[in-house]
Structures are given as C-alpha cells and as structure tokens.
Amino acid sequence: MSNIREVAKKAGVSVATVSRVLNHPESVSAATMELVLDTMNKMQYTPNGFARSLALNRSSTIALLIPNILNPLYPQIAKGVEDVAHQKGYNILLCNTEENGEKERDYLHMLIEKRVGGFILTASQLENKDLQKIKNQNIPFVMIGRNMEEIDENMVFTDYHIGAYEITQHLIDVGYRNIAHITGSLNQIENLQKKKGYETALQEAGMVLRSEYIVEGNNEIEGGYLGAKKLLQLKKRPQAIFAANDLMAIGAIDAIKTSGLNVPGDVAIVGFDDITMASFIEPKLTTISQPVYKMGLIAARLLFESIENRQQEDGFKQKIFVQPKLMVRKSCGHEDRVREIFN
C-alpha cells in the first residue's frame, strides 16, 4: 500500500504538492496536476484516512445509536440519517444497543475514541452524566425520540404521552369501556409516558384503572403475544387493547386469532408507531404515526449544523417537536361500532 511520499518521489514532486492536488487542486498547475493524478493512478494510491484525520483533527463519520435494529422503526430512522450523511460525504457507524444501557455506554466510549464527528442518539438510555462526557469532549449530538424536558440539547421527538392519550381516547370514543394496555419495557421512559397517557385518558373519561388490565411487554412481537394471552384469561376480558408499539400489537392480534377470537369483533387492538406492516396485516392496524424517516433526516441535518458551527460558542439548542398522528384503520373496530350504535 503506497503512501504520499512514494507518490511524490515517483512523480518527482514534493509531498506537499501531492497533498495539494488532493485538497487544494486550484493551487496546482495543470501540468503538475495531471502528472500527479497519473502516478497516483498507476500506483493505486489511496490516501490514508487516519493520517488525514489525525492531521486535521476531524473525521467524516458520525455515529448512530439505535436500540433495536430488528424493530422496523429504526431502519427508517437510519435511512433518514444515512441519506443526509451520504450527501455530506460522511459515513455512519451503526451501533445496536439492544435497549441495554451498559452496551450503550460501552459504545459511547469506543466512539469517543474513534473521534466521530457527532452522535445521533435514538431512544437512548444514557443518563445526564454520560451526555456530559460527550459534551466534555466537545462532540455535538442530537437525540431522537425521547423528550427530556429537563435537559437542554438538540432533540427531535414526538410526544408519547399525547399519542397514547389520543389513541386511548379514540378507543373510548368508539365505545369500549374495558380497555387494557400492554406496555413496553417499563425501564424506558417513553413507555412510562405512554402508560401515563393511557391512564390519563381513562381517568378523564371517569373510568377506573384496573391494575390487571396493565401488563408489561418487551417491545417485541412475542411480548405482545404473551401479554394478550394473559389478558384473555382474565375473568373480565378486555374489549380493547392498546399495545405500546405495533410489533406488540401484531403479536397481540396473533394471540387473539389463535385463541379463536376475532379482531376487532371480540377484542379490538391498537398500536403505536405505524410501521409499514401496520397497513398490511389483517385487520389493518389502527395506530399512532410518527414520521420517523423525517425525524432521521431532521436529526441528521441538525447534527451537521452543529458540526459545521462547532467552533462558535455553542449555539442554540433546538427541540423539534413532531406531531404524532392517529391513523384509524380496521383493528379498532371503528366502523363496526359506529354501525352498531346506529342500528
């Protein structure tokens, strides 16, 4: 693997000149230019990025931390981030944290050593102390998905509380009285917020909260399946279930079907996220949509803004709020109920 010195020697110029044709082509005569380019080609020279980054003290890679790449939500975010990163000539270091704070912290250190240009933290479990570490190293970052009122950083998020509130409200509007909730992992703040939204909606409607109607899932299809099975065994079977994400909703639908019951006839199901598959399962899933691809785009743009202006007294932090949106489809039994009522 040849280096800049060998190229310089072979071309009969100085290393500075070779460096210049790469970085400041305008400052090199046409003849030299061609000569150097030519010998680079002949020698199959590829500049060494490490040396370059070391000299320049900056890299062209950013890090993307996501909790679970197998949840279709996150590839969409990744796509958004990738689209702008690639356009900026950056690469992405992908880290799958598996919703594990330890692993996430682990990655954090590796990435700081790698001197990434910035971080995008998705549904991060990092604590203030960890974030402080990033800031101490003066590495810009933006958070996606989690609204932490108390910290003043770049973030783009939707309000989980409101989303959960709205969809529960919708279930109430349709006419259900006994509404259960399969939560996500309750050590994640957004799942607490969703649970809160669910509870608030119920309370405002003057309904009692029944603790047996709240079961904890694990954010995966299987958790939804298990949760629904548990709910089906209750003496007083719920009429509707709000699953904290679409994956669990899909699992819940599966559980209900395999129990010989009908969705939404016997039990209505709604989810959260609006992953692509939500529109393709049977019945089509009523859910809360967040524009995740866009959120990825926005977060990445925000990040590059910070990267490009890092020298400045760190500018204003932005909190970008994205409106969650109720998508009424079939699984909530909206139409059926409406018909029933008017009969």
Partner DNA sequence: ATGAAAGCGCTAACAG
Partner DNA sequence: CTGTTAGCGCTTTCAT
89 binds a second copy (CB under 8 A): yes
Q: Binding pattern to DNA, positions 44-73, x when CB under 7 A?
A: -x-xx--xx-xxxx----------------
- Nearest distance, CB of residue 308 and DNA, angstroms: 15
d(C-alpha 295, C-alpha 124), whole Å:
15
By a kind-dependent CB cut-off of 5 to 8 A, residue 16 interacts, out of DNA, a second copy, none, with: DNA
Encode 295-321: b = buried (16+ Cβ within 10 Å), e = exposed.
bbbbbbbbbbebbeeeeeeeeeeebbe
Pick the closer one to DNA by CB: 5 or 339. Answer: 5
92 binds a second copy (CB under 8 A): yes
Backbone phi and psi for residue 89, each to the nearest 5 degrees, phi listed first: 80, 25
d(C-alpha 227, C-alpha 253), whole Å:
11
Pick the closer one to a second copy by CB: 111 or 126. Answer: 111
135 binds a second copy (CB under 8 A): no
By a kind-dependent CB cut-off of 5 to 8 A, residue 14 interacts, out of a second copy, DNA, none, with: DNA
Q: What is the layout of strands, in order, in the sheet containing 179-183? A: 214-216, 179-183, 240-243, 268-270
Backbone phi and psi for residue 111, each to the nearest 5 degrees, phi listed first: -75, -35
User: CB burial class (10 A; 0-12, 13-18, 19+) of residue 209?
Assistant: exposed
List 34, 152, 173, 282, residue binding a second copy (CB under 8 A):
282
By a kind-dependent CB cut-off of 5 to 8 A, residue 44 interacts, out of a second copy, DNA, none, with: a second copy
Judge contact between 206 and 222, C-beta under 8 A.
no
Judge contact between 239 and 268, C-beta under 8 A.
yes
By a kind-dependent CB cut-off of 5 to 8 A, residue 23 interacts, out of a second copy, DNA, none, with: DNA
Binding footprint of DNA on the chain (CB under 7 A) = 1, 3-5, 12-17, 19-20, 22-24, 27-29, 31-32, 45, 47-48, 51-52, 54-57
